[in-house]
Chain A
């Protein structure tokens, strides 16, 4: 009898303990009677735009007093690890952000809820269609952004070099970079990471194709590809900092530019706000191309989790966050990423912002864009292309060999 009694106590204790251990990643605030809570996971407000997201949340809650939005912000570097673990563990937020590269994987495996009766006319059509899979709408575009050439006007003036124009080519950029680099003063002429993201772009700027038309084979190991990779890699150590100088580590480039030690910087328009208080004059230009112009464009979308119990409220929130006038206004006024609205007249206030002066370049760059090549095993492809290029940049392999190896490996990923 005694044993049985203790056994019972033990089981109760065990239940109590496991119950404690079951808390989800985020504590959900208790919803008052008749109200619902929408948990929202995002990366794009991290590091500078948290307040702007809060402003949008407040506007939404004022318009929808029955819904409370609970925001969780995670840095981009950890975002997909966190998201995938949460989805696997059944604790995913009701609504979350996905970039275009990752949307396909999530839509295909049934973890997203189909959005119904969305007002598609509010969105730019090409962006809206990017979030369809098998004829169903699994998301709405949230924002888009592109990459331009940032430059430090003070350094250009000091070196007596004329600032970049939309007509510049790679040659002009490198000629200027060589003059601007002053290793004694630790000033670098240029920075563009040696990575997958930069490579598919310079490849496009050189008229090459990363994949064949039906995405079954890699085609970047071409004369155009070799030339593009050489352009990128030859800068390392000459006009561009090396790995040993810290290149490739988080925030390295933004700190370098902000400290006035970098003359030209290839980066996204999401850095406008962060550089607003830089203690020198800077501006932007469309990135130089070689045989043609090509600017990288990135699209983020908003989706609702298939497991959400508040799917309806969650959809209300994501469509508000994607296309409401409040969002559009906030995004433009704070130089966040651009809103995906169909009515381009709404984008006009973007040009009224003071810094940088040549904001027109952002829209000019949109005339010739290149989207990231996407395959099912995306991350593996990105990592191995970056690894091969880095090996070549460090002089461990000739560029030709690195590209050939990368192409063989990417083809291996496409076969499996």
Chain B
């Protein structure tokens, strides 16, 4: 055995990696590379592919629909992230106190996270029914205007944002709760001794030391947010009149409704590039605001 000891177990390492490496290769890497190939062709899924070079990309970049779906996706992310973060943080702070039934409440708030999106979206669609939904009945009873929600182009996206934030609240809560619990108690004691009030302790101790968890939540939520699809597909199917169509919804429609798989693949790669850039910028930028205790 002349090889260094650390290579000796390579065979076993590879063997144990196989169960996750094979699905990753077959169901993620191969389709990704194939879609890059498809994006250079015109293809309706059933006819032979026809080489078109980069024209799918140039067509998409000049198509006003592309700008629209990216704008809608951006509005979704900008609306969704603050709500889900602020809500999740409030819940985490509340459920970090010694409350009666704390474990039960934590589980309850987490329940929507593990519920199927189709179920949640259907329930929200029903709650937000403009004429006889529960939400509008309550709004009407207290004298507030009753929006048209998913039937009104101005309210379709807010309806999706609202239901998404509700569903993901529990996920953000759990991550932040774990973050809160890893903050050492003596820091709070020291801050108290120094005469700080509750607000100062939150602002100067809790938030900075929570920043690694915040960073994780923001990165994951942005990546998921840019790929929003299920809830839009079930609640509005991109309507009314395309007013809530998002990027992944457009990719789906292009492929499976309109037989334009080449353009859909190109759009997927544009989305991939955008998410990659945003994530890299975040990881670079984290040094300035994320504090590891």
Contacts and interface: CB of A to CB of B under 8 A. Distances in A.
A17 B18 CA distance: 10
Contacts of A105: 44, 46, 259
Interface stretch (A1-9, A144-152, A320-328): A1-9
A396 interface: yes
Interface stretch (B7-15, B82-90, B181-189): B7-15
B22 A106 contact: no
A243 B240 contact: yes
A135 interface: no
A244 B15 contact: no
A87 B46 contact: yes
Contacts of A84: 44-46, 256, 259
Interface in A1-42: 2-3, 5-7, 9-10, 13-14, 17-18, 21
B158 interface: no
Given A87-B45, A387-B242, A244 B259 contact: no
Contacts of B193: none
A225 B242 CA distance: 24
Nearest to B59: A416
B44 A109 contact: yes
A242 B151 CA distance: 10
A383 B259 CA distance: 13
Interface string B1-29: 00000000011101100100010001000
Interface in B211-234: none
A175 interface: no
A182 B242 CA distance: 33
B179 interface: no
Contacts of A13: 18, 22
Contacts of A87: 45-46
Given A3-B10, A84-B45, A245-B131, A387 B257 contact: no
A17 B258 CA distance: 34
B239 interface: yes
A2 B11 contact: yes
A380 B258 contact: yes
A243 B239 CA distance: 12
Contact of A6 (B14, B26, B47): B14
Given A6-B14, A391-B240, A17 B22 contact: yes
Contact of B257 (A10, A88, A379): A379
Interface in B28-65: 44-48
A390 B15 contact: no
Contacts of A396: 153, 240-241
A377 B130 CA distance: 34
Given A18-B26, A109-B44, A394 B259 contact: no
Interface string A377-395: 1011001000110110010
A88 B256 CA distance: 11
Nearest to B47: A109
Interface in B138-157: 148, 151, 153
Contacts of A377: 258
A126 interface: no
A110 B46 CA distance: 9
A403 to B, nearest CB: 15
Nearest to A85: B45
A245 B129 CA distance: 9
Interface in B239-259: 239-242, 256-259
Contact of A10 (B15, B44, B131, B148): B15
Contacts of B257: 81, 379-380, 383
Contacts of B47: 108-111
Contacts of A5: 11
B134 to A, nearest CB: 15
A390 B241 contact: yes
Contacts of A3: 10-11
Contacts of B242: 387
Nearest to A106: B46
Contact of A379 (B45, B240, B258): B258
Contacts of B12: 6
A18 B23 CA distance: 9
B46 A88 contact: yes
Interface in A79-134: 81, 84-85, 87-88, 105-106, 108-111
A3 B7 CA distance: 10
Contacts of B129: 244
A6 B239 contact: no
A6 B8 CA distance: 12
Contacts of A110: 47-48
Most interface-central of B10, B48, B131, B241 (chain A CB within 10 A): B241
6 contacts: A6-B12, A84-B256, A87-B45, A88-B45, A108-B47, A109-B48
Interface of B: 10-12, 14-15, 18, 22, 26, 44-48, 129-131, 148, 151, 153, 239-242, 256-259
The 4 closest A-B pairs by CB, nearest first: A6-B11, A109-B47, A88-B45, A244-B130
Given A6-B14, A387-B241, A390-B241, 18 more contacts: A5-B11, A6-B12, A13-B18, A13-B22, A18-B22, A21-B26, A81-B257, A84-B46, A84-B256, A111-B46, A243-B240, A244-B130, A244-B131, A379-B259, A380-B257, A388-B241, A391-B241, A396-B240
